[in-house]
Amino acid sequence: MMHSRRDFLQYSALIGASAITAPLAGFAGISQQKKLGVALVGLGGYATRQLAPALQQTQHIELRGIVTGTPSKIPQWVEKYRIPEKNIYNYETFDRIADNKDIDVVYIVLPNSMHAEYTIRAAKAGKHVICEKPMAVNVREGQAMIDACKKAGRQLAIGYRLHYDPFHLEMMRLSREKTFGEVKLVEASDGFRAGDPNQWRLKRALSGGGPLMDVGIYAIQGARYTVGMEPAWVSAQEFPKTDPQKFRDVEESLSWQLHFPNGAIANSFSTYITNVNRLYAAAEKGWFEINNAFGYAGQQGRTSAGPMTFTHINQQAAHMDGVAKAILENRPNNVPGEEGLRDMKVIEAIYASIAAGGKQVKIS
Amino acid sequence: MMHSRRDFLQYSALIGASAITAPLAGFAGISQQKKLGVALVGLGGYATRQLAPALQQTQHIELRGIVTGTPSKIPQWVEKYRIPEKNIYNYETFDRIADNKDIDVVYIVLPNSMHAEYTIRAAKAGKHVICEKPMAVNVREGQAMIDACKKAGRQLAIGYRLHYDPFHLEMMRLSREKTFGEVKLVEASDGFRAGDPNQWRLKRALSGGGPLMDVGIYAIQGARYTVGMEPAWVSAQEFPKTDPQKFRDVEESLSWQLHFPNGAIANSFSTYITNVNRLYAAAEKGWFEINNAFGYAGQQGRTSAGPMTFTHINQQAAHMDGVAKAILENRPNNVPGEEGLRDMKVIEAIYASIAAGGKQVKIS
């Protein structure tokens, strides 16, 4: 869908830029004049419809460059976001971004299997990196990305926008402060109906896996931060495919169970055949949950003591501003590579359990 | 908790006898004068706090007898429900109920392991039988109960009160009529914190198993009637015990996944360590769910198109009236032994999968 600049401004007004301005206005100490410049690497749907619009609402970071392998996409980005010619790269010229002082941060929005390569190339070019989830297609790649950024003295952040969403922050708080006692059980499910049979998500060489890699990772995240510790063991099950042709390359549906050291449990499900989207916690004295938990908007929060009421924010803007602020203040960001790596370890253990017929597998 | 007769009448007014009167008033053809007489076998909490009060609201069945091994319980039942001396039995005298014309139906509310024996003895005494869930502790016993009732020419009904609850009937209808398209996924969980370490539920010799037998069976039921077909395969997982002493005899928490022949899936969880209680269906074009799905009251229903709004009824009264009406009209009841046996087959397959380390097990 094409948007004119006027359409975009109307959209921006509609979703309420003020919602994100409000909490960030409280941050003192960074003068408005210093903003980081970001280049988006990969101009697919998420970059186009979510990140670029969100970057019109950020205070500490702004869109200054693009990296794309599709020249026909360039004119609309130039027109809409006034990207200067010198800040436009393709995948052959990408490494020259090292010499571009406009660009402080590179945001990798490529298919999963390209995350490691472009994160490492960006780090070598001296840029901070934000990389979409999953950070990589396996633990080995994820570790290499962390190492490369560390070696370059640059930050690595994963695209975990929900760590900046007020409903999810509330789940973390209710768990941490034991408002309803200790969390005993998390139910977390994330799935959607994958329509287009030709999308990269369904090609293992690009995605590294199916719904687990794509959206199940949010259920893993949700369980981890709602229990508030790292799981020790996992068992997992893959379901028979109802469309073996469409899903010939990746799993169609799967479930898994996380065992936490304190005895807490998470039961989860992820699929490409139906919408499901919920994060629920049962604690000793009550429960709390988000429905439409993992979407970009529309979270509905409830607790056994009443509704969770928060103003919805632009998650992507909050996430990118949060990371940018950490970089500007030279302190670690909230969603570092190490956080992404923990999910990769769980994902690898889930696939290992499925391969072993559902046996419990220790998470390394 | 003791109730005086006046307390009871106030309670009865409070929960609204009219709610159940309304739908049943529509049934024509049975004159009010003919009511079946029921004897409750086992005077534990469920008989005392749920069934006996509910029997003050029924139109087609009334409380006329009790069977108990605890003589000290008798006076309060005699006083509150005017049970005549001749309709009071203990477990030694129980078989003489064959000669008692007042008693048409025997409702077995004993610990699970006693269901088969007392159902078969009741059938041999020529009585129709309502038996609490789970119908038995294994398939073999369940089949013997069905056979005994068939041989005696008497009905067997299982205590599946939710087949008469308007919220659950709505789940069945939304699935059957494909209001939101075909159901693809059910999430169903039922658990509670088992307090008293000495209760019969925790003794395998009496219960036959843990939360799966006790409340997980509702999640199995819910999945089966919300998908609208019988599952073909199951995989299941038992979680490590956080209180191995208290749960030395039965499982503490477990999860399982049902595979239906049309590709639909159910992911479920049951536990004795925390409250959880939900039945959710994701269909092609929307979702529908009940929270506090399996409790005696307080169901909250929602769909992707808006709330489910029904008047809450007395489930136990509706269930017993429904079964009594079927008996009076000489047609099969809605919750026959065969329905109970299907759940027993799933339960056996779940335990078999756990014993086999989580492997998929065919449901016989």
- Residue type at A306? G
| Residues of chain A contacting B282 with CB distance shorter than 8 Å | 191, 274-276
pLDDT of the residue at B348:
98
Summarised one tens digit per residue, pLDDT across range A79-111 is 999 999 999 999 999 999 999 999 999 999 999
pLDDT tens for residues A253-296?
999 999 999 999 999 999 999 999 999 999 999 999 999 999 99
Sheet hosting strand B156-158, strand order edge to edge: B88-89, B61-67, B36-41, B105-108, B128-131, B156-158
CA distances from A352 to A234, A264, B336 (A): 9, 22, 43
Block residue for tokens 């169609």: A252
User: CB A282 to CB B259 under 8 A?
Assistant: no
Q: Report whether B105 contacts B127 (CB < 8 A).
A: yes
Q: How far is CA B291 from CA A167, B8, B171, B189, B213, in A?
A: 20, 28, 12, 10, 21
Q: Which CATH superfamily is A162-313 part of?
A: Dihydrodipicolinate Reductase; domain 2 (3.30.360.10)
In B, which residues are within 8 Å of A175 by CB distance? Answer: none
pTM above 0.95, yes or no: no
pLDDT at position B33: 59
* Average confidence (pLDDT) over A213-234: 98
CATH topology of domain A5-159: Rossmann fold (3.40.50)
Find residue A301's DSSP bridge partners.
Answer: A290, A308
DSSP-derived secondary structure letter, A99: G
- The rounded percent of chain A whose pLDDT value lies above 90 is 91
In this predicted structure, the answer to whether residue A76 has a pLDDT above a threshold of 70 is yes
pLDDT of B358 higher than 50: yes
What's the gap in Å between the CA of A190 and the closest CA on chain B?
A: 12
Compute the mean pLDDT over every residue in chain A, rounded to the nearest whole number: 92
Question: Using one digit for the tens of pLDDT, what is the confidence trace for A117-158?
Answer: 999 999 999 999 999 999 999 999 999 999 999 999 999 999
| Average pLDDT rounded to a whole number, residues B56-72 | 98
How far from chain centre, in Å, is Cα A87? 25
Taking residues A217-233, what's their average pLDDT?
98
A299 φ, ψ (degrees, to nearest 5):
-60, 135
Nearest residue of A to residue B283, measured between CA atoms: A274
Residue B19 predicted with pLDDT over 60: no
What ipTM is given for this predicted complex? 0.86
Report H helices in A27-67: 45-46, 52-54
B306, pLDDT greater than 60: yes
Q: What percent of chain A has pLDDT over 70?
A: 91
Over residues B245-261, mean pLDDT: 98
Q: What is the pLDDT of residues B139-166, one digit of tens each?
A: 999 999 999 999 999 999 999 999 999 9
Q: Is a pLDDT exceeding 90 seen at residue A7? A: no
**What tens digit of pLDDT does each residue of A171-219 get?**
999 999 999 999 999 999 999 999 999 999 999 999 999 999 999 999 9
Q: Choose the mutation target among A178, A215, A254, A257 for the interface with B, i.e. most B CBs under 10 Å.
A: A257
Q: Is the pLDDT of residue B313 over 80?
A: yes
Q: Do domains A5-159 and A162-313 have the same CATH topology?
A: no
Given a cut of 60, whether residue A24 has pLDDT beyond it is: no
Stronger pLDDT, B25 or A338, i.e. the higher one: A338
Predicted local distance difference test score (pLDDT) of residue B22: 39
Is B23 a residue whose pLDDT tops 90?
no
Identify the closest residue of chain B to A183 by CA–CA distance: B274
Q: Which residue of A has its CA nearest to B269?
A: A267
A33 — pLDDT class (breaks 50, 70, 90): low
Mean pLDDT of A44-72: 98
Residue A27 has a pLDDT of 47
Q: Find the CB nearest B259 among A187, A193, A239.
A: A239
Q: Indicate whether B9 pLDDT > 90.
A: no
pLDDT greater than 60 at residue A50: yes
Residues of B in contact with A240 (CB under 8 A): 259, 263
**pLDDT interval class at B32 (50, 70, 90):** low
Are A83 and A66 in contact by the 8 Å Cβ rule? The answer is yes
Rg for chain B, CA atoms, rounded = 20
Structure tokens at A334: 């909230």
SS3 assignment, position A127: coil
> Annotated active-site positions of A, please?
133, 218
Q: What CATH number does domain B166-312+337-362 carry, 3.30.470.20, 3.30.360.10, 3.40.50.2000, 3.20.20.450?
A: 3.30.360.10
Q: Would you state the CATH architecture of domain B25-160?
A: 3-Layer(aba) Sandwich (3.40)
For B251-286, b/e burial (b = at least 16 CB within 10 A) is bbbbbbbbbbeebbbbbbbbbbbbbbbbbbbbbeee
pLDDT of residue A198: 94
Residues of B whose CB is below 8 A from A278: 187, 280
Q: Is A265's CB within 8 Å of B275's CB?
A: no
Whether B11 has a pLDDT exceeding 80, the answer reads no
Q: Which of B71, B347, B101 is nearest to B207 (CA)?
A: B347
Residue B6 is predicted with a pLDDT of 37
Residue B336's DSSP bridge partners are B157
- Calpha distance A338→A344 (Å, rounded): 10
- Per residue in B177-219, pLDDT (tens digit) is 999 999 999 999 999 999 999 999 999 999 999 999 999 999 9
**Any idea where the domains of chain A sit in the sequence?**
5-159, 162-313
- Give CA–CA dist B20/B258, Å, rounded: 34
